[in-house]
Amino acid sequence: MRPAMFATVCLGLLAACEDAKVDPVTVQWMDWPAEVNAGQTFRARLVVSNVCALDAQFRAGASADQSAVTFAPSFLVSNDQIACLLATIAIDTAGTAPGLAAASARTYEMRASTLAFAFNAEGAKGLPVGTYGEVTVRPSGADRSRRNAGGYATLDTDSLGCVRVRPAGLYRPAAALVLENQPDTVGVSSAFVRGYIYDAPAPVCGETRVFHLVSRK
């Protein structure tokens, strides 16, 4: 059964949901517009841990309060058990954050369920929430040219010594971003990093779309 059909059955017939469950998942990586206009919803990219299920419907679980936007993602899945060989491969998806209030320019934290390298959080309850960075909210005139980013990352180094930052669990070549501050790589691999993605004024390793590292832990 396709995810959409599965969800319809669960919404329409409560008895059918006896064979369904909600699996919370962690956010391995998140990036979002560095600035947004007040009251406007915005999309955040979410790289989340995988689930082993034949049918799964993703829920971003977005909410907001006076200080932060929080994503608590999960999948609605069937109880069918399958052999899973892809538990360490993350899922690249997105969620919509609600519009945020701002009488003048101010910041909100961006938070999400997190658990270091817990690629499969099946059955987990009350996953811890971590802060991935901030979003600036302006009454108007937001600059959308830069995206803030945070999460667990690994490093790729090519034959020419160029370093790229790869969100944990994503393995396709296009998922890696050139690191703008190339010499600053100590402690980055397998760490929780924060930074921003933007078009650099000069190419780095032949590319202009780069990740600028701000912090790691």
Where in the sequence of the chain do the CATH 2.40.50 domains occur?
Answer: 148-216
Using one digit for the tens of pLDDT, what is the confidence trace for 143-152?
Answer: 999 999 999 9
Q: Name the token pair of 107.
A: 């910041």
Q: Kindly list the distances between the CA atom of residue 28 and the CA atoms of 89, 152, 175, 209, in Å, as whole numbers in the listed order.
A: 11, 6, 13, 21
- Predicted pLDDT at 30: 98
Burial 180-195 (b: 16+ CB within 10 A, else e): bebeeeeebbebbbbb
Profile the chain (217 residues) by mean pLDDT over runs of 10 residues: 39 48 92 98 96 83 97 86 66 97 98 65 62 98 97 92 94 93 83 96 96 93
Question: Looking up tokens 């689930």, which residue turns up?
Answer: 51
| Torsion sign (Cα): 93, 98, 146, 25 | negative
Instruction: Give tens-digit pLDDT for 34-82.
Output: 999 999 999 999 999 988 776 789 999 999 999 999 999 999 987 665 6
DSSP character at residue 99: P
Q: Please report, for residues 38, 199, 211, the alpha-carbon distance to residue 204 in angstroms, rounded to integers and kept in the order given.
A: 34, 10, 10
pTM here is: 0.84
List the CATH code of the domain at 148-216: 2.40.50
